[in-house]
């Protein structure tokens, strides 16, 4: 095959993979709720149950009849999947555990294994590892929180944010739910688009999550302000005009804070969790993340511990959980 054709084939394959990756993130975030809605017990439904729009249509297509029909069909598919999951008793138990964990986070209290076992009842005790895994999946992907065992007390846990918590309200002694899940998922989408994503691509992706500009979200507030102002000010993303574009168009890139922290590894953790994949699924990105970690560790005089590949525990087996 001529060299030019090989290059085109590789580029086409890379674009197809990036398109598939962004689609795999669909359904990973909670859908929008109007401001004023009371927070209810979150439903634990894996990303695989929400095939929201297999192929993103062109910008503006949602205004057409075809776009409306497609959205209605997708909404029906999602509703059926959610309804089916809600009827599953194991999923309902996982939702209770997730709600309990979020309550503990907001009250700044430690979750206890005994409390969670009481929530699911004795009948489902044997399934507790699966239920906890399902709840912690949603906890990490949606809220950017990790549940870790307390080293001093094996029967209790601590909730740790994957990224530094953004400043937020603290009313009545309850902490605001973290927004880091959206940050990690958005950074993952940008990374899978070749480290830059157009504004149209970002909003297409967020539309699939039920997140729209101008419609306040229960967790993220006004999405456009959160993404184009708050995340820019926090240096997690860069929002800039595409050079030479006329009329002006805009794109999103990783900000300096995202590049300088251990963010790439945390983003890969979330991506592999969503796709139920191994780190080898993203060899280039994973090697870059390890290299970045090694460089930072070397500057701190801790390089020796980073030269061996660090594979998060949930990569080894999707069935491993707390017991």
pLDDT at 176 over 50: yes
Beta bridge partners of 239: 252
pLDDT tens per residue, range 78-129: 455 555 555 788 999 999 999 999 999 999 999 999 999 999 989 999 999 9
Compute the average pLDDT of residues 204-218. Answer: 87
What 76-83 contacts at long range (C-beta under 8 Å, 24+ apart), as own/partner pairs, is 77/51, 77/52, 78/27, 78/50, 78/51, 78/52, 81/45, 81/49, 81/50, 81/51, 82/43, 82/45, 82/49, 82/50
From CA 199, how far away is CA 184, in angstroms rounded?
A: 17
91 phi, psi to nearest 5 deg: -65, -40
Select the more confidently predicted residue: 320 or 210.
Answer: 210
The structure tokens listed for 56 are 């993103």
Report the first-to-last Cα separation within the chain, whole angstroms: 55
For the chain, helix, strand, coil in percent to 5 are 55, 10, 35
CATH class of the domain at 88-175? mainly alpha
What pLDDT, on the 0 to 100 scale, is given for residue 60?
35
- Separation between Cα atoms, residue 239 and residue 312, nearest integer Å: 31
φ, ψ for residue 297, nearest 5 deg: -65, -40
CA dist., res. 184 & res. 137, Å (int): 14
For residue 195, pLDDT beyond 80 = yes
Burial 254-278 (b: 16+ CB within 10 A, else e): bbeebeebebbbbbbbbbbbbbeee
- Whether residue 164 is predicted with pLDDT greater than 90 in this model: the reply is no
Average pLDDT over residues 138-149: 90
d(CA 91, CA 139): 14
Total residue count of the chain as it appears in this document: 323
Domain ranges of the chain: 88-175, 262-316
Query: What's the CA gap between 274 and 311, in Å, rounded?
Result: 16
Residues of the chain with pLDDT > 90, as a percent, come to 34
**Mean predicted confidence (pLDDT) in 254-260:** 89
pLDDT at 73: 55
pLDDT for 49 equals 37
pLDDT of residue 226: 93
Residue 220: the pLDDT is: 83
Q: Three-class SS of residue 144?
A: coil
Beta bridge partners of residue 217, listed in sequence order: 221
52 pLDDT exceeds 50? no
Mean pLDDT of 228-245: 94
């Amino acid at each position: 095959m001529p060299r030019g054709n090989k290059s085109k084939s590789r580029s086409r394959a890379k674009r197809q993979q990036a398109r598939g990756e962004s689609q795999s993130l669909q359904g990973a975030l909670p859908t929008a709720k109007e401001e004023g809605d009371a927070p209810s017990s979150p439903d634990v439904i894996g990303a695989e149950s929400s095939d929201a729009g297999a192929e993103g249509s062109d910008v503006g297509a949602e205004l057409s009849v075809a776009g409306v029909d497609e959205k209605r069909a997708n909404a029906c598919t999602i509703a059926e999947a959610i309804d089916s999951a809600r009827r599953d008793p194991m999923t309902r138990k996982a939702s209770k555990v997730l709600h309990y964990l979020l309550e503990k986070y907001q009250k700044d209290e430690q979750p206890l294994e005994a409390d969670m076992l009481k929530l699911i009842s004795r009948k489902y005790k044997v399934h507790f590892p699966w239920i906890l895994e399902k709840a912690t999946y949603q906890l990490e992907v949606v809220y950017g929180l990790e549940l870790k065992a307390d080293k001093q007390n094996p029967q209790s846990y601590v909730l740790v944010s994957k990224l530094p918590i953004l400043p937020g309200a603290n009313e009545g002694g309850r902490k605001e739910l973290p927004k880091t899940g959206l940050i990690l998922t958005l950074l993952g989408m940008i990374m899978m688009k070749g480290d830059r994503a157009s504004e149209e691509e970002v909003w297409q992706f967020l539309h699939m999550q039920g997140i729209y500009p101008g419609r306040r979200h229960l967790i993220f507030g006004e999405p456009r302000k959160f993404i184009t102002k708050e995340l820019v000010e926090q240096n997690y993303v860069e929002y800039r005009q595409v050079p030479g574009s006329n009329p002006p168009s805009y794109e999103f890139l990783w900000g300096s804070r995202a590049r300088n922290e251990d963010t790439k590894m945390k983003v890969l953790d979330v991506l592999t969790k969503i796709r139920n994949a191994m780190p080898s699924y993203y060899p280039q990105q994973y090697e870059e993340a390890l290299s970045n970690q090694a460089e930072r560790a070397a500057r701190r005089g801790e390089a020796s511990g980073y030269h061996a590949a660090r594979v998060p525990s949930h990569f080894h087996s999707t069935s491993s959980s707390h017991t």
